[in-house]
Every structure is written in C-alpha cells, then in structure tokens.
Structure 1
Amino acid sequence: MTMITSQRPSTGSGRSPAEAAALIRGVSPVLEVPFTDDGEIAVEDFRRVVRYVVGTGVTSVMFPGFAGEFYKLSEEERRLLTEILITEVRELTVDTGTEVAVIAAVQDHATRLAVQRARWSVEAGADAINLLPPHLLAPSASAIEAHLRTVLAAVPDTAVVLQYAPAETGTSLDPQGLAGLVRDHPNLVLVKVESSPPGPYIAELGRLDPPIPAVEGYAGVQLPDAFRRGCVGTQPGCSLTEVYCEIWRRFSDGDLAGGDRLHARLLPYISYWMLDTERIIATEKMISYRRGLIQSPHCRPPRHDLDAEELAMIDRFLAEFGDLLPSLR
C-alpha cells in the first residue's frame, strides 16, 4: 500500500492574476493520476507525468480535472498530489528557467467547501484556480452566481478560470452574466469552454465588454473552429501532449492548413474516445502506459473497460503518430 504523507504547504506563488493568465495559453494539459494495479495512487509515476508534461514546453498545467479522476480521489490523496505537483513544477522552473503556471481545480458543490479548497490551493502555491460551477440537484441561476462570486471574492489576488462544461454538469452560464462577474471580480481571467460546439460561445465571450478570453476543452475535438473564433488555448488530457502542441504551433505560426491536416488525422480517434468521459480517461491511461510513462493503466471503478477493438485502435493511433509520440521507456 502507498504511504500517504502530506508535504508542508507554502504561502502562495506570488503571481498576479494577469501574470498567471499570460501563462495559460496554448496547450494547457489536464494531468492524469496514475494508480498501481491494485488501485493505490502511484506517487513516483505521478511525478514522472508532471516532469514529462512540463518537458513538452507547455506553460501551464491543470489538476485535478475530469481527466484526473478527481471524483475518485480521497481528500488526503488529492492534497498530497497537488502539493507534489506544485513542488515538482517549482523545482523544474529553477532547473530549466521555464515559467509554468499550476492551475488547481475546485469542484466542490458546497460554497463553503469551495472557498476552503480555493484558499488552501493558493496557500499551497497554486498560480490559478479552475472553478467548476455547482451543478448537483439543479441549483438556480442566482445560487450559481452567488457561489461563483463568493469563491472569486475569497481569492481576489489569484487568477480564476471558470469551467463551462454543460454536457457534464447540465449547468448553463449566460455570457452577459459572466461579463458582470468580470467587472466585479477582475481575477476571473479566463473561461474554459466545453460546450458543443464551443466556437460560437467563445466568439460571444470575445465580444463582451470587457471581453473574456477563453480556452477550449473537450479533448480539442473542435479546436480548429475554436482557434479561428479567438480561443487562446486548449486543455486536453496529457498522454498525447506533443500532438496538441504541434497542432497549436502550426495554428500560431499561421499555418492553418497544416494545423487542420494534423487535426483531421487526430479527429477520428478523439471523436470516438470523447463519446463518454470514462472512455477517454481509460484510453489516455492506456496510451501513457504503452508509451512507458506510467506502470499501470488502472482506473478506479466504476470505469470503462477497453475492449479488444478499442485496444487495437490505440495501437493504430500510436503507430500513426509515432513521429510525435516516441516511446518514453
């Protein structure tokens, strides 16, 4: 059994909301949580995941999201891994000189707990908060707004990314209402848009007064359209970070046709994997395992168990993108 010991929290990262927001650009992977075959967290594998992802050249990472199975972690495990992430990123920053922002996720339904987690994350050294609106038992629009305002006010000197994931949560967020939040809480610096399609919502955010920058999620299924409509980044899972980085590099360099071609090769895979969240979690874990990044593809149940055809699809994917996804063994 893995022994869980908490590290001593620090007293914040010292980055302003604007400084953190400037780093949350391009590809901002959501980190996975490796487990052992018997379901314990694999601490050293998690450290390796952090070092690998930061080594791809990204300037921000998020943890724990849906891709990190946050809903399957104990409070003790979650805090330990967050502290490890912050420590590893700080050490890598010192070693390489690369600036990387850590985005700590807050998904608590109770406003009191969300405030506590946000404050703890900032004290532990996180540069930004990813805030998922409450959604259990269909809270009213006014209750959701009150929740968001309370959390934003609790960490006024820290960047906040608001996650809009209507398919997963059923929560609707009116862009005009978000503009009011930004005017009252300027630490709300970005919206992560995971609606389908995300492009029109991203474009509407950009037309607000003040405009709200957006990053796109949902595994980048509709990344080309989102880029053209003004998104400043994408937040996929982390097992194929290099592929997303190359797509984003082409788009940023003005090679839209080249980015489209690479995305078109990726799309048949991610469009199938994203049919449900547990499927893409299991798939990304298997990709990381087959690349040699983690020692087990285990997902804590309830989970999606990959069948023979899905495993063969992963093999085809790794063969097709082998130039961008070398073995890490």
Structure 2
Amino acid sequence: MAALTGVFPILPSIFRADGSLDFDGTRNVLEYILAAGAAGIVFPGLASEYDLLDAEERVAMTGKLGEWIAGRVPFIVGASSPDEALAVRFAQAGANAGAVAAMVLTPHRHAQDPEAMVAFFDRLHEASGLPIMLQNAPAPMGVGLGVEQVTWLAQRCAGIRYVKEETQPSGHRITALMERAASHVDAVFGGAGARYVIDELARGAVGTMPACEVTEVHVAMLDRYARGDIDGARELFERTLPLLSMQAVFRWRLTKAVLLRRGLIGSDFVRAPGPALDEHDQRELDALLARIVDLLPLDSVPGGVRR
C-alpha cells in the first residue's frame, strides 16, 4: 500500500430536508472533493455526525463509497463505536468496500485498562485485516491519551500503523510522537479542522484530515508547503483561518452552509445538536466567503452527479 500523505477530508453525512440520507448529495460532495485534488477520503468521522447514523446507514454508505471511489484514491473507513461488535462490523464493511485503513477513536470503556485497549485494537485489526489509524481525540469525543500511552499502544499493537493526533497542543504531541513512535507507525496526521496545520506539518505530520468545505484551498496549501513555499502556504492558511474559526463553533452546520452555497447539496439539514447560524451569522459567512472567492469559486461545481 502506498504511504498515506496529504489532504484527506472527512466526508460529511448529507441528509435530505426530512432527515434521511441523501445518496446523490453525498456523491456530489465526494466528486467535488476528488476534483479538488484530495489525496483520499475519510468516512465517517466526527465531522460526519457518525454517532447519529444507525448501523445500517453506516454500512450502506460505506458500500456506496467503495463503488463510487472505485480505487481512485485511498479510502479510510471510520470504525469508531462504543459497541465493539459494531466497530468490527464497520471495519469489515470498509475492508469489503476497498478501504486501506480503519480510523478508530480510543474507546472510553478501556480508558483505564491499557491491556484491554490493546486487545480491542488487536481484535479489530485481525477481524478486518485493515491497518488501524488511532484517532487520539480529546474528551468527550475520545480519551485524549498521553504521548507515552500512544507510543506504548503502537509498540504493542502491530495493527496500529497511523495516528491522527487531535489532543491539544497537537504540535507538541506530534513532535513527541515523531521522536518516540516513528519506528512503530507509518505516519502521523493532524486534525482539528486544519486550524493548526502549518505547525503540524513543521513538526512532522504528513497530512491533515479537515472538514471538506474548502478542500481545494487545503490541497493548494499542502502543495505549496511540500514545494518549500512555506510563506505561500501560510498565506492561504491565514486567509482561511476566519472561516475555520467560525467552523469550530458551528461544526457540521457551517460545513453544510458552505456546501449549500456551492450548489453541491440540496439541504443543509443536520442531525447533531448544536447552535444554528442565525441571520447575522449567515451574513458573516457571506462576508468571509467573499474575501476568499478567488480561492473558492462559489459558482462552479466540479464533476459530480448533478441534481
């Protein structure tokens, strides 16, 4: 398997206005992400409202993504679940769909039992045959393991080949992981919506896994960084940071508000609780997008299945 590097956006769960899964809308967003140059796709993750999808929805969408991606880019399946049997099922569904790895949150029930956590990851790897990406997210989403704990797990679990580090300060932790765990994992990715991406890359991260609404900008940012144009990468980072700051507050709703403006989806419905954008927020979002319109053309839909 080729090394995983670059921008791996988290594909959101797209819903119709009645709250049901919108497969056409999901494929539109997928094709936009691929046309924007993403190195791969992740589904489902925290940005996919994964915990508000039932098991059948997750398995069905995983299968569809395997069909639609058809090997064009690496697909990482999210297999997180508080139910170990379901986690195994989701990882196996990903393997059947051609996924190259399974991204899994550290399970809360094993937070105080490292040996049980080792056994969990071993079983997941053996049952699916997929390399594991340990998603080290802070509470309440994850456990927020310390660097020594992540290193110890990587040493004990041959199946853990990647780490997505999202516990803050992520930069410090990525530096420490590169020093202590580099011989035990293939790569470390950043997350947290790419709000710290320049610092993470400087410390050894090989890529980022943000929400998807500005994929082409993140792709250009990492391309500039890889070519040694650090100032150019930082310019793009700084221009998009106000939007990412707003996204940190409104999460899924902000992502879908942008996708709706771009004509990629027909409804910005979300299942997850949280603050909604009011009329002032909508105007602020319009103003922020207007400031980066040259980076993010809002009147085009590259590729995709048109409605």
Q: TM-score, normalised by structure 1?
A: 0.84
* Counterpart for residue 127 of structure 1: 100
Conservation of the 8 A alpha-carbon contact between 1:35 and 1:42? yes
Using the TM superposition, give the Cα deviation of residue 132 of structure 1 relative to its aligned residue in structure 2, in angstroms.
1.1
CA distance in 2, matches of 1:256, 1:175: 27
Which one of 156, 163, 167 corresponds to residue 191 of structure 1? 163
Matched, 1:255 2:249: no
Counterpart CA distance in 1 for 2:30 and 2:6 is: 17
Q: Residue 78 of structure 2 aligns with which residue?
A: 105
Contact 2:67 2:97 in 1 (8 A): no
Map of 1:297 onto structure 2 = 268
1:15-53 CA-to-partner distances (Å, cap 9, x unmatched) read xxxx15x1x211100001211111111111111111111
Q: How many equivalent pairs are there?
A: 298
**Residue 145 of structure 1: aligned partner:** 118
Alignment-mate amino acid for residue 225 of structure 2: F
Distance 1:183 1:195 in 2: 20
Query: Alpha carbons of 1:43 and 1:134: their partners in 2 closer, same or farther (altered >3 Å)?
Result: same
2:193 matched residue in structure 1: 219
Give a deviation string over 1:177-199, Cα, whole Å, max 9, x none: 43344344443221001112211
Q: Are the equivalent residues in 1 in contact too, given 2:118–2:157 (CA < 8 A)? A: no
Structure 2 counterpart of 1:271: 245
Residues 138 and 188 of structure 1: CA distance in aligned 2, closer, same or farther (over 3 Å): closer
Gaps of 5+ in 2: 302-307
Paired residues of 2:134 and 2:160 also in contact (CA < 8 A): yes
Deviation at 1:59, TM superposition (A): 2.1
Aligned to 2:304: none
Aligned residue number for residue 150 of structure 2: 178
Contact 2:63 2:97 in 1 (8 A): yes
The letter for the 2-side match of 1:166 is P
Question: Residues of 2 paired with 1:181 and 1:291: CA distance?
Answer: 42
1:301 CA drift (Å): 4.8
Q: Is the contact made by 2:102 and 2:132 (CA closer than 8 Å) also made in structure 1? A: yes
Consecutive unaligned residues of structure 1, counting only runs of 5 or more, are 1-18, 94-98
* Corresponding position of 1:286: 257
Superposition map of 1:1-329 within 5 A: 19-20=1-2, 22=3, 24-90=4-70, 93=71, 99-135=72-108, 140-155=113-128, 157-169=129-141, 171-209=143-181, 210=183, 212=185, 213-275=187-249, 279-326=250-297, 327-329=299-301
Distance 2:141 2:110 in 1: 10
CA gap of 1:187–1:39, structure 2 versus 1, over 3 A, is same
Q: Looking at both structures, which has the greater relative contact order when contacts are Cα pairs under 8 Å and sequence separation is at least 6?
A: 2
SS in structure 2 opposite 1:205?
helix
Q: Which amino acid letter does the alignment assign opposite residue 247 of structure 1? A: M
For the residues of structure 2 that align with 1:119 and 1:189, how far apart are their CA atoms? 17
Q: Could you tell me whether the CA contact under 8 Å between 2:246 and 2:254 is conserved in 1?
A: no
Q: Secondary structure at the match of 1:207?
A: helix
Please say if residues 144 and 167 of structure 2, whose CA atoms lie closer than 8 Å, have aligned partners that are also in contact. no
Q: Is the 8 A contact 1:111 1:150 kept in 2?
A: no
CA distance in 1, matches of 2:82, 2:119: 12
Q: Which stretch shows the higher mean deviation, 99-108 or 119-128?
A: 119-128
Residue 272 of structure 1 deviates from its aligned partner by 3.4
Q: Deviations over 1:106-159 (max 9, x none)?
A: 11113333223222321232221111111269654443333223323333x422
Which stretch shows the higher mean deviation, 48-57 or 116-125?
Answer: 116-125
Q: Evaluate the alpha carbon distance shift between residue 297 and residue 146 of structure 1 in structure 2; reply closer, same or farther with a 3 A threshold.
A: same
Deviation at 1:282, TM superposition (A): 0.3
Instruction: Return closer, same or farther for 1:249/1:166 CA change in 2, 3 Å cut-off.
Output: same
Query: CA separation in 1, counterparts of 2:267 and 2:289?
Result: 17
Which deviates further from its counterpart, 30-39 or 113-122? Answer: 113-122
The answer on whether the counterparts of 1:165 and 1:194 sit within 8 Å (CA) in structure 2 is yes
Residues 195, 118 of structure 1: alpha-carbon distance in 2 compared, 3 angstrom cutoff: same
Q: Distance in 1 between matches of 2:41 and 2:58?
A: 16
Q: Does the 8 Å CA contact 1:133/1:148 hold for their aligned counterparts?
A: no
CA contact under 8 A between 1:110 and 1:134: conserved in structure 2? Answer: no
* Counterpart residue type for residue 200 of structure 1: H
Computed over aligned residues only, the root mean square deviation of the Cα atoms, in angstroms, reads 2.0
Secondary structure at the residue paired with 1:41?
coil
Q: Percent identity?
A: 32
Q: Which stretch of the first structure deviates more once superposed, 285-294 or 41-50?
A: 41-50
Secondary structure at 2:287's aligned position in 1? helix
